[in-house]
Structure formats: C-alpha cells, structure tokens
C-alpha cells in the first residue's frame, strides 16, 4: 500500500526527517514510536501533504501512485486519512455541511453523483453510533466547543464516514480517559479490514493492547532506528527510549569509523 | 471647480423647478440645508468621520439630475418581477432612480394603521406628521451629505405605523438605479413607528446600469415609546455605482431598533448612521455584513448616542475583503452624562482574503457616566491556514474550503436576524456571492425565483 523511500523533509528550513524508509502492506497496522521531536508528526504531515512541510529528497508511493505529486485533497480521495493530534476548530461550518462537502468531493473525484440527502444523513447516523457521538454535535461547528475527548472521538467518526484505505492516528489516544480510549480504539478496530492499513503514533501500552499492531518502528532523530513486532513496543514502555538511542549512536559511530 | 459648487449652482439656478417637482414639506427645509452646505462645504479626507471616503471625488463627475420628474417608462413591477417564493411581505414598493413608483394595481390593501405612500402624498395627507418628522433627526448631525440630499431631494417614501399597530411581515422597498446616462438620485425614506407599534422593513438597494450612477440616501427612523422597528437593508449595487447614505434614528423610551445591513455587492457604499437613544430603556442592535472584492469599497461610520439611562446598544460588523477591496468601520459609542446603567457591546471583525485588501477598523468608546458596562473589540486577520488544511485533508478542495470558511465568517452575523426566511435567504445569497453566481442581473435577488 505505502512505500516510503529515503524520505527527507524540512520545516522552516530545518531538516527533521533524514532518510526514512518504511513499507506498509495491505491490512497491516504499524505503530510508530519515538521520543519527542524525533519526527513522528512531521512524517504524518508529509504523508497528507501539509504545505508547511517541505520534502527535500525521497519518494512516497501510495497504491502505485506518486503521492508527493498529489494535492492534499486528492490524497484524501485516494484513501489517506489523518486523525489530527490537535483537531482544528472551524466555527460556523457545521459538522453536517463539512462532511457533506467532504463526502461529495470524494464522489465527484470518482465521477459519482452527490449522495442524496436522506442517504447521507442515514449514513451519518450509522457512523455516529459506531463511535458514540451524540446527534447534537452534527449541527455544531466543526470541533466548536468540543472537549478534548469529543474531538478525538470526532476524528474517528470522520474516519468512519470517509472510509479511508490508509489511516494515520497521530496520538489520537493522548488526552483521553480510559473509557474514551476504549471507544476510540474499538471504533478504529471495527473499521479495520484486510484492505485497510494504518500508521499509529502512540506513547501508550494500552493502545498496543487494543490495536495489536503487526509492526513497531522506532523513530529517533529523523530515522527509523529499530523495528520489531508488538513486543518492541512493550519493551519501550518498560525501559524508555534511551537504550535504543544509545545503540543507534553506537551503530552510527561504528559506521563512521 | 470644487464639486460642491456645481450642486449649489444647480440649486440656485433651478430652485423653482425643484420646488415645482416636489412638495411643501420638503421645500420648506431646502434653504436651511443649502445654507449649511454653503457654510461648511463637503467633508474632506481630513474630516474625522470621512477619513476613508473621498466625497469630493465621488461627487465630482457631472451627473444628470431628474429635476423635471420624468417617470421611467417601464413598470418596475413587471420589469423587476418578484416571484416571492420564500418571503411574505405586507407591502412592496419600488423606487426607480429617485421616483417612488405607485403601488401595483394588484397590491393587497394595507393593514389597518399602516401607511406606505410617497412623501408627496404624505405632504398632502398628513402635513403635521411631515412637519414633525421630516429632516428633523437628519438635520441634527449637521452632516453635509444629509444637507445636500435635503437641498435636492424631491420625493421619497413614508412608512408609518399608527400607535399599537403590529405588522408581522416586512414592508419591502426596492430601490433600483437604472439609467442610460450618468445620473444622480436623491432618495428619502421616512419611517415612523408610533408608540407601541411593531414595524419590520426590508430595503433592497440595486444598481444595474453600466454607466456611472450616484445615489444619496437619507433614511430617518423614529421609534416612539415602546415601539419596535426591524430594519433590514440588502445592497446589490454594481461597480459603477456610488451610494452615499445617512441613517438617522431616534429611539424612544423602551423602544427598540434592530438594524441589519448586508452588502453583497457594491461600488462605493458609505453609510453614516447616527442613532440616538433618546429616553430610558431604549435599545439598538446594529449589525453589518460586507462581502467585497475587486475594487469595491464599503464604509460604515456609526455614532450611537446614549442620552438616557438604562439603554443598551450592541454593534456587530464583519467584513470579508478580497482582491483590492477596502472596508472601513468606525463605531463611536457616546455615553452622555447621566446615561447611567448603559450597556454597550461593539465588535468589528475583518477577514482579508488577499494581501492587497485593506480593512480599517476604529471602534470607539466615549464615556461621561460612571456606572456603565461597555465593551468594544476589533480583529483583522486572514483565512485560517490550519482550518484550510484540515478541510483539505478531509478531501474538501481548497477553493471550496475557502468558500466555506468565508461563508461561515459572514453567516455568523446573519444569525442575528430573527426572521427565519430572510436569514436563510441571505445566507444562501452570501454563498452564491462567494461562488461568483450572483451577478447584477436586474431583478431583486431577495425575492426573485431566478436566483
């Protein structure tokens, strides 16, 4: 599904990603861990085409297409979704209108007619139940007056509506209490199938418990320095990142010698 | 020759003609207006309230005047056919250029207690009322443009609600500028709600001529004790049109004025609004929504004069400016000595969608009473990049995302309109405007089924 090769990216002239290689196949869930500032969010934003992030080198192929050549909205239509670490508030644009615009833009991209209003509203109702989001949120502005937990739940709700092939969860678990985390994770799991994949950024073991990822990658200083299965995640939970950092530095030093 | 001289000399040369085409009540106020105008001249860019409106330039072209009162050949009720799919009105009247058109033959009878007629008719039928109200509130501010209007205007419309009358659906007045050569129109509107009356009013300003046109407007609004006036104004004029308007309102004890001003398209539009809270318990809300692009210019200059205790005022103006458009807002809330327990809110927010657009914002508070609660605020910014990207990530194309954000920004002002069908209609028109589908097509978009 996704192939990232030698990816370098910068923000405001400062290089953050320094050669990331990552391949994610259909149906796989990958967890990305790493200390603060290692480039996890940068990688997410580069994937979805945030114009603030500049790709200086490397390629990204998404289902055979050159992702970097696509606009953010086309990436979305092709099946890329990001659950934002800090979902944006858009006062005055109701959830319903926002999602109608999104759903119909995607349909237009694939040459389909807009979804009839009754079908659209029925679909919203079904997806809302999946994540336990109350109906009154639909007439509010996007994330307007939503609590932290409601915003995260809203991200998963939008994911359910848009049915992406590849989802990025950027610390969707942060700021959630145990119950909210369970609802979000269960919602995510319900949307999973053999055709969809995900990249999940998290610091928490609880998320590993819920998601049972296929692979765990550790990003340090803009490079993936260690990869493994879920047990790597639990090891980090127990021992922190320092031992990996030290190993990575030792390896780099050995290479330079 | 300064612009002022051409108007003063027209007045001197054509006085008999002007009077003959007008009525006694209006003629009685011309000399005083002409004297004021000759004495103080036109405002310049150094005049405090006109810093962003070049009146001299606006008035310098040689516009024609319709002093002989030629009526337009076309019947506006046919030409500007109104389908009225959503908006029920109590009465519909047209003003073409400077001439009130007689009511359509098919027009329903007016409800008891409501008068809608030309000022010429009013001068005959109710001279006392004209004497009491015509050019009283407007004269007080000694504004040169109001004086220019009073000197030259020959007719207009009176809307009067007798004591205790309740009108549910608005009276709609459509003012159209349609000329084949450069033309100046001087328009008057006199709105009186007697004690305890409720009067909703919708004004639509249109200009469709490709040639240069200028309209001066003086609208006087009197809400007597316990009355309520809802005044909606929607402007869809074009780039060749200059609109110089004054709104002069007096609000009595426990009376309310709700004023909503929506500019969808314009050339240069300027509104000077002097609103006097005259007696205890008077309330005013005024809100404005401006959408401007190209080289359009919208300038609102408000004075809210708190003269009595226990009054409230609430101002809320928002502008979305694109391309080389200019928006100017100034709101001065004056709390006079003794106007205790005044409550006043004032917000002006502007969104510049292009770096070449300009917004000038000047909310002011001037307080001479010591027990009051007054707030004012102003913000000017651009489109929110983070929101734009969030929407794009969800698949909403950039152009559509920009549209939704700008629409939301303006729609927020429209939420203050209590009349549901009107609010929905305006919200829809603002969206059309942003989509570029709102063209000056010659019919009233407020009610035509075509839009």
Q: How far is B404 from chain A (nearest CA, A)?
A: 7
pLDDT tier at A251, thresholds 50, 70, 90: confident
Burial of B399 (0-12, 13-18, 19+ CB in 10 A): exposed
The shortest CB-CB distance from A92 to any of B389, B396, B409 is to B409
* Contact criterion met (CB below 8 Å) for B448 and B81: yes
Largest CA distance in chain B: 69
Residue A109 forms contact with B (CB below 8 Å): yes
Q: Which residue has the tokens 């994949």?
A: A197
Residue A240 forms contact with B (CB below 8 Å): no
Q: Which residue has the tokens 């559509």?
A: B400
pLDDT of residue B80: 64
Q: What is the mean pLDDT of chain B?
A: 92
Q: How far is B345 from chain A (nearest CA, A)?
A: 21
As a 3-state breakdown, chain A gives helix, strand, coil percent values, each rounded to 5, of 45, 30, 30
Residue A228 forms contact with B (CB below 8 Å): no
CB spacing of A90 vs B390 below 8 angstroms: yes
pLDDT of residue B302: 98
Q: How far is CA A81 from CA A10, A29, A164, A185, B390, in A?
A: 21, 14, 6, 16, 11
CA angle B264, B177, B150 (to 5 degrees): 105
Residue A157, C-beta contacts closer than 8 angstroms, at least 6 positions apart: A127, A128, A130, A131, A133, A187
Name the least confident of A195-204, B68-77, B241-250, B297-306.
B68-77
Q: How far is B232 from chain A (nearest CA, A)?
A: 22
Q: How far is CA B315 from CA B59, B148, B383, B416, B433, in A?
A: 30, 28, 23, 11, 24
Q: Which residue has the tokens 């305890």?
A: B196
Which residue of chain A is at minimal alpha-carbon distance from B403?
A93
The shortest CB-CB distance from A76 to any of B386, B395, B408 is to B395
Mean pLDDT of A226-250: 84
For an interface test with B, the pick among A67, A84, A93 (most B C-beta atoms closer than 10 Å) comes out as A93
Instruction: Identify the contact set of chain B against chain A, taking CB-CB distances under 8 A.
Output: 384, 386-387, 389-398, 400, 404-405, 407-409, 411-412
- Please give the structure tokens belonging to residue B87: 């908006």
Give all domains of chain A, ordered by start, each with its CATH number: 2-256 (3.40.50.300)
Mean pLDDT of A66-77: 96
pLDDT of residue B83: 38
Residue B399, C-beta contacts closer than 8 angstroms, at least 6 positions apart: none
CB spacing of A76 vs B409 below 8 angstroms: no
Residue B8, C-beta contacts closer than 8 angstroms, at least 6 positions apart: B34, B37, B38
Residue A98 forms contact with B (CB below 8 Å): yes
pLDDT of residue B84: 39
pLDDT of residue B73: 66
Q: If contacts are CB pairs under 8 Å, which of residues 152-181 in chain A contact chain B? A: 158, 162
d(CA B333, CA B320): 24
pLDDT tier at B214, thresholds 50, 70, 90: very high
Mean pLDDT of A230-237: 84
CB spacing of A73 vs B395 below 8 angstroms: yes
For an interface test with B, the pick among A47, A81, A88, A104 (most B C-beta atoms closer than 10 Å) comes out as A88
* Contact criterion met (CB below 8 Å) for B383 and B353: yes
Which residue of chain B is at minimal alpha-carbon distance from A99?
B394
pLDDT of residue B444: 55
Spell out which residues of chain A touch residue B409, defining contact as CB-CB under 8 Å. Answer: 92
**pLDDT digits over B400-439, tens only?**
999 999 999 999 999 999 888 889 888 988 998 998 877 5
Q: How far is B410 from chain A (nearest CA, A)?
A: 9
Q: How far is A234 from chain B (nearest CA, A)?
A: 32
Strands A53-62 and A2-11: antiparallel
Nearest residue to B161 via CA among B195, B137, B124, B120 = B195
Residue A51 forms contact with B (CB below 8 Å): yes
pLDDT of residue B17: 95
pLDDT of residue B449: 39
Radius of gyration of chain B (CA): 21
The CB density around residue B361, as the number of other CB atoms within 10 Å, is 18
pLDDT of residue A147: 87
* Contact criterion met (CB below 8 Å) for B195 and B226: yes
Q: Is the pLDDT of residue B292 over 90?
A: yes
Beta-carbon pairs below 8 A across chains A and B: 75
pLDDT of residue B97: 92
Q: How far is A240 from chain B (nearest CA, A)?
A: 32
- Please give the structure tokens belonging to residue B254: 């426990």
Helix axes A230-239, A242-256, angle to 10 degrees: 110
- Reported for A190-194, long-range contacts at CB under 8 A and 24+ positions apart, including other chains, are A190/A130, A191/A130, A191/A156, A191/A159, A191/A160, A191/A163, A191/A167, A192/A29, A193/A27, A194/A26, A194/A27
**pLDDT digits over A75-105, tens only?**
999 999 999 988 999 999 999 999 999 999 9
d(CA A81, CA A90): 18
pLDDT tier at B441, thresholds 50, 70, 90: very low
**pLDDT digits over B102-112, tens only?**
888 788 899 99
Domain boundaries along the sequence of chain B: 3-381
**pLDDT digits over A200-213, tens only?**
998 888 888 888 89
Mean pLDDT of A144-161: 90
Q: Is the pLDDT of residue B318 over 80?
A: yes
**pLDDT digits over B60-90, tens only?**
998 989 888 887 766 777 666 543 346 788 9
Q: Which residue has the tokens 């995900």?
A: A198
Which residue of chain A is at minimal alpha-carbon distance from B397?
A73
Q: Is the pLDDT of residue A174 over 70?
A: yes
Q: How far is B286 from chain A (nearest CA, A)?
A: 20
What ipTM did this prediction achieve? Answer: 0.94
Mean pLDDT of A155-167: 94
The shortest CB-CB distance from B396 to any of A51, A91, A102 is to A102
Share of chain A above pLDDT 70, in %: 100
Share of chain A above pLDDT 90, in %: 63
d(CA B364, CA B253): 25
Nearest residue to B430 via CA among B413, B450, B449 = B413
Mean pLDDT of B218-229: 98
């Amino acid at each position: 599904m996704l192939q990232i090769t030698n990816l370098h990216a910068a923000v405001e002239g400062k290089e953050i990603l320094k050669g990331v290689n990552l391949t994610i196949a259909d149906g796989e869930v990958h967890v990305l861990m790493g200390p603060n500032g290692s480039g996890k969010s940068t990688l997410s934003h580069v994937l979805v085409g945030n114009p603030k992030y500049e790709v200086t080198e490397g390629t990204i192929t998404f289902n055979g297409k050159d992702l970097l050549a696509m606009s953010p909205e086309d990436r979305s239509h092709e099946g890329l979704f990001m659950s934002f670490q800090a979902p944006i508030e858009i006062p005055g644009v109701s959830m319903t209108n926002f999602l109608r615009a999104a759903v119909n833009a995607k349909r237009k991209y694939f040459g389909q007619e807009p979804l009839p209003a009754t079908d659209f509203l029925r679909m919203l109702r079904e997806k809302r139940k999946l994540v336990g989001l109350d109906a009154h949120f639909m007439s509010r502005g996007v994330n307007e007056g939503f609590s932290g937990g409601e915003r995260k739940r809203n991200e998963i709700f939008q994911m359910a509506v848009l049915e992406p092939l590849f989802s990025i969860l950027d610390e969707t678990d942060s700021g959630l209490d145990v119950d909210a985390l369970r609802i979000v994770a269960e919602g995510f799991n319900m949307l999973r199938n053999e055709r969809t994949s995900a990249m999940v950024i998290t610091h928490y073991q609880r998320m590993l418990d819920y998601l049972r990822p296929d692979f765990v990658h550790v990003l340090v200083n803009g490079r993936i320095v260690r990869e493994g299965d879920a047990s790597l995640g639990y090891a980090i939970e127990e021992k922190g990142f320092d031992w990996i950092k030290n190993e990575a530095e030792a390896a780099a030093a050995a290479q330079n010698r | 020759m300064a612009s002022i001289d051409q108007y003063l000399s027209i007045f001197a040369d054509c006085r008999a003609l002007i009077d003959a085409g007008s009525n006694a009540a209006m003629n009685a106020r011309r000399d005083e207006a002409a004297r004021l105008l000759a004495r103080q001249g036109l405002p310049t860019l150094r005049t405090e309230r006109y810093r962003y409106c070049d009146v001299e330039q606006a008035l310098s072209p040689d516009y024609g005047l319709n002093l002989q009162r030629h009526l337009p050949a076309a019947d506006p009720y046919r030409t500007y056919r109104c389908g009225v799919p959503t908006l029920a009105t109590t009465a519909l009247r047209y003003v073409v250029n400077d001439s009130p058109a007689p009511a359509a033959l098919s027009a329903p009878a007016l409800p008891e207690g409501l008068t809608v007629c030309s000022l010429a008719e009013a001068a005959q039928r109710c001279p006392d009322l004209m004497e009491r109200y015509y050019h009283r509130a407007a004269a007080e501010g000694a504004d040169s443009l109001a004086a220019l209007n009073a000197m030259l205007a020959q007719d207009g419309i009176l809307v009067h609600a007798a004591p205790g009358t309740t009108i549910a659906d608005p009276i709609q007045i459509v003012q159209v500028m349609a000329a084949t050569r450069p033309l100046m129109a001087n328009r008057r509107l006199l709105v009186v709600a007697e004690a305890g009356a409720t009067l909703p009013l919708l004004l639509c300003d249109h200009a469709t001529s490709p040639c240069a046109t200028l309209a001066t407007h003086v609208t006087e609004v009197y809400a007597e004790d316990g009355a309520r006036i809802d005044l909606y104004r929607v402007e869809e004029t074009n780039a060749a049109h200059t609109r110089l308007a004054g709104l002069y309102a007096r609000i009595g004890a426990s009376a309310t004025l709700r004023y909503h001003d929506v500019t969808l398209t314009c050339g240069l539009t300027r509104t000077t609004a002097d609103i006097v809270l005259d007696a205890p318990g008077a309330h005013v809300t005024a809100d404005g929504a401006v959408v401007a692009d190209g080289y359009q210019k919208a300038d609102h200059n408000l004075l809210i004069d708190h003269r009595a205790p226990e009054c409230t005022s609430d101002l809320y103006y928002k502008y979305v400016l694109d391309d080389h458009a200019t928006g100017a807002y100034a709101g001065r809330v004056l709390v006079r000595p003794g106007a205790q327990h005044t409550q006043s809110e004032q917000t002006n927010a502007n969104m510049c969608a292009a770096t070449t657009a300009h917004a000038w914002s000047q909310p002011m508070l001037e307080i001479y009473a010591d027990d009051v609660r007054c707030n004012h605020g102003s913000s000017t910014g651009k489109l929110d990049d983070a929101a734009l990207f969030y929407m794009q990530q969800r698949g909403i194309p950039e152009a559509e995302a920009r549209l939704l954000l700008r629409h939301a920004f303006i729609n927020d002002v429209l939420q203050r309109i209590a009349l549901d069908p009107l609010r929905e209609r305006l919200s829809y028109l603002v969206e059309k405007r942003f989509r570029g589908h709102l063209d000056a097509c010659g019919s009233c978009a407020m009610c035509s089924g075509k839009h």
